[in-house]
Amino acid sequence: MKWQESVSAASPEEEAAEASLTGKVGGLRLLDREQAILAFNRRVLAQAVRADVPLLERLRYITIVSSNMDEFFEVRFADALEAMRDAQEAGAGDPQRDALRGVVHEAHALIDDVYREFNEAVMPALKRQGIVILNHAERDAGQRAWVADFFHRQVQPLLVPVGLDPAHPFPLVANKSLNFIVRLGGRDAFGRSKAGGGHIAIVKVPRALPRLIKLPDALVPAGTQAFVLLSSVIRAHLEELFGGRPVEAFSQFRVTRDSDLEVDEGDVSNLRQALRRGLTTRHYGDAIRLEVVATCPEALWRFLLEQFRLPEAALYRVNGPVNLVRMVQMIDQVEAPALRFAPQDPAWPERRLPRGRSILRHLREHGDVLLHHPFESFDPVVAFLREAVEDPDVLAIKQTIYRTGEKSELMDLLIEAARRGKEVTAVVELKARFDEEANINWAERLEAVGVQVVYGIVGFKTHAKLMLVTRRETSRRGAVQLRRYAHLSTGNYNPKTARLYTDIGMLTADEALTADADAVFHQLTCLTRVRTPRLLLTAPFVLHRRLIGLMEQVAEAARDGRPARIVVKVNALTDPAMIHALVRAARAGAEVDLIVRGACLLPPGLVGLTERVRVRSIVGRYLEHTRVLYFRWGEHDDDEALYLSSADWMGRNMFRRIELAWPVRDARLRQRVIDECLVPYLHDARDAWCQQSDGRYLPVAADGPGAQQALAARYMTRPLR
């Protein structure tokens, strides 16, 4: 089949099922996607409860859940807002509205549990360690004087209270910013009472101010580390902002807005410029959620709901700071190494890739090299690119860029390569959610030194992780030829996240694989038809269809009585057609194991449908990010295939993104991936959760080893706690 003869497309039934998130597949009712996302966050929150997790890391898991919930509302909940408004007045009986009510109820319950763990477990435990957050009543005279001085010098000059009346409308409040609403008594400067307006005021707090301030050691007892919240500092001096006018009631509040950038790519001449303009308005999208403190008077929160045009179901009354994400500042400032995870040192794979020797030569002479992050270092990838930049015989470098971070040695190396006169091509995905600004900045810096920058394909995100180096070489017979080298990965070109996420990368000089990689770049840059790749499976072209074909091959083997096995490790499984293929294989007799970190809509263990399907989720110290796909359809060594991939099993990845999956053909490397990325996770007795047929997850009730701990023991210099 030609590369572009046909693009895989979901059937109308599949698209409808994915859109509603509650459709049926082959008689199987899928689980609710939003509920599955919330269930994942419950598993993350469970890490904050574990006694074997250091205290500050427990607090970090709380901030992670809080951040995840912010994104849940910013991105996933906007489309449901109108239905939520309708559901407020609708009666029971509408399945879609009832499902939405269930999501809203679970979101409220989850956030309540986050604050309960914060207030009743983590903070009291930190207090016992001498780490405290002092409110105004708890501060002594010296501490209050210091806080007052801090307020007058560093906070008050930046605050601009706005008293509301017809000439002073409700101010524009940015997404996730800290604000105060205040009800004032008495008369204003113009002699007006409440009836004349001006009794309600809004105080916007600039993002530049720290949300957590550490008190000087001289003001606290020895062995104590004390902090004050910025909201507490402002609260203690609210009346000073209004000339001593009495404050009758007040509350912190924060509004979460729809933050998904929507740019009509077909109606812009320059995507980068259009996105740059869009970033200026992102913080002021439609309101989705309102957070106030639990003590906020009803009149004030009803006033805010009216201003933001939100239904009451969008109100979250929280017992604590309205933005727990900012508590990460406390984790960073506290001096208590014993309360954090012990630092880990990823290993350089010395035996498989000797340090200090040419990586390109090693790949030519010894074949592919697999790197398992974060247990093995990301440094060889940086060294691979650095060698290509410094090698005068390297003529061209091409790389996809999805998430690299604001600072990136890899991007600096691409800039240096261009300065040295090499042909450098960067495929920059400008629409990588919440990384748009960083990627735009990198694109502009790359273009400034002559890098050929393209922004992928209109309507598709370039999510593939691929780097290609072309080098001029001379054969033993003296013939000059061009040889390619490549790096493919399941994760981003981001050294920071490579220390936090589990991913697999592969360095290769395989001629067929690098030729396929070159074809991918050729199509991304010039949009022409190219030959069908021999080895790479690409989305949106063949990946979806070929993976379903492999599952059908396994199902056929099961029907014939041959060994039949599927093991899939991904971050999410929501695509109805792929779920259907897995169910067909299981019903035919294949054993199916799914290791899905996040949302999985396939309910396992249903009689007559999914008895042979088992679903696990691993939530540990590191974020599971590796995508590994294993298929067996017989007894012989050739009756199996193993792919590594950048794609999750979701409709967006299969049909609306540029994705890659590549085979691990070397039997020795294939066995290594099985032994490290699949087997330990199927037997994890520490960080594993088993999904039930109703979508609930139960922790594995065993006190045994965890996959991440086993891998750290194999590669790292210190064991994981």
Cβ–Cβ < 8 Å for 645, 530:
no
Closest alpha carbon to 320 in 117, 170, 127, 459: 117
- Residue 284 has phi, psi (to 5 degrees) of -130, 35
Cβ–Cβ < 8 Å for 65, 41:
yes
Cβ–Cβ < 8 Å for 333, 214:
yes
Whether 571 has a binding-site annotation, put simply, is no
479: CB partners within 8 A, 6+ apart: none
- Which amino acid would we find at residue 505? G
Cβ–Cβ < 8 Å for 658, 457:
yes
226: CB partners within 8 A, 6+ apart: 132, 133, 134, 143, 214, 215, 219, 220
Whether 420 has a binding-site annotation, put simply, is no
Cβ–Cβ < 8 Å for 616, 688:
yes
Cβ–Cβ < 8 Å for 346, 478:
no
End-to-end CA distance of the chain: give it in Å, rounded. Answer: 51
The residue assigned the tokens 């104590």 is 224
Distance (Å, whole) CA 620 – CA 600: 18
Give the DSSP per-residue string, 327-384: GHHHHHH---GGGSPPP--PBP-TTTS-TTS-HHHHHHHH--EEEEETTB-SHHHHHH
User: Taking the CB of residue 545, how many other CB atoms lie within 10 A of it?
Assistant: 17
Closest alpha carbon to 101 in 116, 111, 88, 110: 88
Residue from 372, 463, 544, 580 carrying the catalytic annotation = 463
Enclosing H/E stretch for 41: helix 33-47
Reduced to 3 states (helix: H, G, I; strand: E, B; else coil), residue 485 is: strand
101: CB partners within 8 A, 6+ apart: 87
Enclosing H/E stretch for 387: helix 379-390
Whether 41 has a binding-site annotation, put simply, is no
Measured N-to-C along each axis, helices 12-20 and 576-588 cross at an angle, to the nearest 10 degrees, of: 100
Q: How many residues are there in the chain? A: 721
Q: Is 269 exposed, middle or buried (0-12, 13-18, 19+ CB in 10 A)?
A: exposed
Distance (Å, whole) CA 578 – CA 559: 19
Distance (Å, whole) CA 176 – CA 255: 6
Whether 105 has a binding-site annotation, put simply, is no
Q: How far is CA 235 from CA 240, 486, 530, 559, 669, in A?
A: 10, 57, 64, 70, 60
Whether 207 has a binding-site annotation, put simply, is no
- Asked if 463 is an active-site residue, the reply is yes
Whether 68 has a binding-site annotation, put simply, is yes
The residue assigned the tokens 């359809």 is 633
Q: How far is CA 679 from the centre of its chain?
A: 25
Closest alpha carbon to 618 in 671, 569, 567, 670: 569
Closest alpha carbon to 57 in 70, 48, 65, 66: 48
Query: Residues within the annotated binding site for Mg(2+)?
Result: 403, 433
Query: Residues within the annotated binding site?
Result: 68, 403, 433, 501, 597, 625
Query: Residues within the annotated binding site for ATP?
Result: 68, 501, 597, 625
Question: Hey, which residues are catalytic here?
Answer: 463
